[in-house]
Amino acid sequence: ELKVEQNPLFLSMQEGKNYTIYCNYSTTSDRLYWYRQDPGKSLESLFVLLSNGAVKQEGRLMASLDTKARLSTLHITAAVHDLSATYFCAAGRRDTGTASKLTFGTGTRLQVTL
């Protein structure tokens, strides 16, 4: 059974600071996704990581994947208040057919303060 763990579960950081969210998964996975969820809202796709060493960047967020360590990281550079949200990682294994069965982590609630 594929299990996904994120840490920390809650992160309070000051504007302008850097920090990293970690996502570990328990068994071989060939896909790793990062999502953002604002309070009371749905999930928005941020990054899709498909191979070992993959790195994607969008604005102040950068995601990477190390399949050997079964680890993905989401790095936040010079945080701003607009980044306050809950961030989820999700790992997937190919199902029979083409369904994309993803297992989600419990999420990291990020709060950026002035």
Q: What is the binding site for other proteins (CB under 8 A)? A: 4, 31, 33, 35, 40-45, 48, 50, 88, 90, 94, 97-107
Q: Which residue, 44 or 58, is less far from other proteins as judged by CB?
A: 44
User: Least distance from C-beta 50 to other proteins, angstroms?
Assistant: 6
User: Least distance from C-beta 44 to other proteins, angstroms?
Assistant: 8
User: Least distance from C-beta 79 to other proteins, angstroms?
Assistant: 22
Listing DSSP states for 7-42 in one string gives: E-SEEEEETT--EEEEEEESS--SEEEEEEE-TTS-
Q: Among candidates 56, 4, 57, which has minimal Cα distance to 27?
A: 4
Order of strands, sheet of 19-25, starting from the edge strand that comes earlier in the sequence:
4-7, 19-25, 71-76, 61-66, 55-58
Q: Which residue, 85 or 107, is less far from other proteins as judged by CB?
A: 107
Q: Which residue, 56 or 80, is less far from other proteins as judged by CB?
A: 56
CB atoms inside a 10 Å sphere around CB 38:
11
Q: Which residue, 22 or 104, is less far from other proteins as judged by CB?
A: 104
User: Least distance from C-beta 9 to other proteins, angstroms?
Assistant: 10
